[in-house]
């Protein structure tokens, strides 16, 4: 079992929707930013100074930090375990671009998820388990209401990433998940967020999206199975129709809207690192049974 860590993010709210000019900082810039981040956090909870801080000085879409197994933070844990000086007291460890300016694979953001107004830099705190437990509880309480970054820290990020930053703040991974849940609620995606949250927090559970006109989904072991209906199968499942009935023909526009909704939900799931397996449903067998049998 991996040692416990605190998972957090340094969140950068960009001005005017402009994409940062750089994807990652140089190693020297990364070190300076990590020191500033550590100072900001220790001002909130002084015991942080006795823990290791590990920061990725590369920016990502929030969805990349909210994937099964907390995979983005897991990369930092792996890098931290290989970093030198493990027996020499608390460390501030930062990872940026290499000497040639290339971004190592663990720090490469998903190119399909650029352009959002919020970018995040993941960090972890690691060290003595008892200290970490106290610090983690304090940060969960304090980061959301009090976690604004220092002005000089925000300026380091703004200059380093060549970005116009309106706000720079610290969040726990759970704070970020709560923020994402609110955004999805505003976008009419609350039912889907329940599946994403289950994949994050309860990966062994089976979850369904089986609500009214929404696409039919089943989540199990980090994979989503989506019923792929042809027109007749869709009409049979959602409207109790059978092939050739005039009502199904009249609902063609609604069916096309359903397909667009499927594509939207699949794109959101895949952004969260949840693969989507399509299971063909033609109406001859109950679609729920098909999804339960697939795989």
Report how far residue 118's alpha carbon sits from residue 13's, in angstroms, rounded to the nearest whole number: 5
Read off the pLDDT of residues 91-147 as tens digits, 9 standing for 90 and up.
999 999 988 878 888 889 999 998 889 999 999 999 999 999 999 999 999 999 999
Q: Which of 151, 173, 195 is the last residue of a domain?
A: 173
The pLDDT value recorded for residue 2 is 54
pTM for the predicted model, two decimal places: 0.91
Q: Which of 124, 148, 173 is the last residue of a domain?
A: 173
pLDDT of residue 233 exceeding 50: yes
Q: Which of 138, 173, 208 is the last residue of a domain?
A: 173
pLDDT of residue 244 exceeding 70: no
Report how far residue 284's alpha carbon sits from residue 109's, in angstroms, rounded to the nearest whole number: 43
Mean pLDDT over each residue of the chain, to the nearest integer: 91
Report how far residue 232's alpha carbon sits from residue 275's, in angstroms, rounded to the nearest whole number: 26
pLDDT of residue 201 exceeding 80: yes
Same domain? For 43 and 131 the reply is yes
Task: Say if CB 94 and CB 34 are below 8 A apart.
Answer: yes
Same domain? For 70 and 193 the reply is no
Same domain? For 145 and 273 the reply is no
Read off the pLDDT of residues 44-97 as tens digits, 9 standing for 90 and up.
999 999 999 999 999 999 999 999 999 999 999 999 998 877 677 799 999 999
Asked whether residue 139 is domain-assigned, the answer is yes
Same domain? For 102 and 129 the reply is yes
The pLDDT value recorded for residue 176 is 97
Same domain? For 160 and 100 the reply is yes
Same domain? For 24 and 155 the reply is yes
Same domain? For 23 and 139 the reply is yes
**Residue 125 neighbours by CB distance under 10 Å:** 25
Confidence of residue 295 (pLDDT cuts 50, 70, 90): low
The pLDDT value recorded for residue 19 is 86
| Strand duo 165-172 + 5-14: pairing | antiparallel
For the chain, the domain total comes to 2
Asked whether residue 179 is domain-assigned, the answer is no
Q: What percent of the chain has pLDDT over 70?
A: 95
Q: Which of 65-79, 183-197, 234-248, 256-270 shows the lowest mean pLDDT across its residues?
A: 234-248
Confidence of residue 283 (pLDDT cuts 50, 70, 90): confident
pLDDT of residue 243 exceeding 60: no
Same domain? For 136 and 272 the reply is no
Asked whether residue 182 is domain-assigned, the answer is no
Report how far residue 30's alpha carbon sits from residue 161's, in angstroms, rounded to the nearest whole number: 11
Among 152, 165, 163, CA closest to 20: 163
The pLDDT value recorded for residue 203 is 87
Q: Across residues 147-151, what is the average pLDDT?
A: 97
The pLDDT value recorded for residue 1 is 41
Report how far residue 115's alpha carbon sits from residue 119's, in angstroms, rounded to the nearest whole number: 9
Domain assignment of residue 253, given as a range: 187-293
């Amino acid at each position: 079992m991996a040692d416990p860590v605190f998972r957090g993010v340094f969140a950068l709210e960009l001005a005017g929707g402009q994409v940062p000019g750089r994807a990652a900082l140089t190693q020297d810039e990364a070190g300076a930013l990590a020191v500033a981040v550590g100072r900001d956090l220790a001002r909130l909870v002084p015991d942080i100074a006795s823990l290791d801080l590990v920061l990725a000085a590369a920016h990502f879409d929030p969805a990349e930090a909210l994937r099964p197994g907390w995979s983005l933070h897991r990369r930092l844990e792996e890098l931290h375990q290989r970093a030198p000086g493990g027996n020499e007291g608390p460390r501030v460890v930062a990872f940026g671009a290499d000497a040639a300016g290339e971004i190592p694979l663990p720090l490469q953001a998903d190119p399909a998820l650029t352009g959002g107004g919020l970018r995040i830099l993941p960090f972890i705190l690691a060290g003595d388990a008892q200290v970490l437990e106290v610090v983690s509880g304090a940060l969960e309480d304090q980061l959301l209401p009090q976690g604004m970054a220092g002005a000089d820290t925000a300026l380091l990020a703004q200059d380093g990433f060549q970005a116009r930053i309106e706000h720079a703040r610290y969040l726990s991974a759970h704070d970020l998940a709560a923020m994402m849940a609110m955004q999805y609620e505003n976008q009419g995606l609350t039912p889907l967020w329940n599946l994403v949250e289950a994949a994050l927090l309860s990966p062994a559970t089976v979850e369904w999206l089986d609500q009214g006109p929404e696409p039919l989904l089943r989540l199990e072991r980090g994979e989503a199975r989506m019923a792929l209906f042809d027109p007749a199968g869709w009409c049979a499942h959602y409207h109790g129709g059978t092939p050739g009935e005039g009502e199904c023909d009249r609902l063609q526009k609604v069916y096309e809207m359903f397909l667009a909704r499927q594509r939207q939900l699949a794109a959101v799931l895949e952004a969260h690192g949840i693969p989507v397996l399509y299971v063909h449903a033609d109406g001859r067998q109950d679609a729920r049974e098909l999804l339960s049998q697939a795989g």
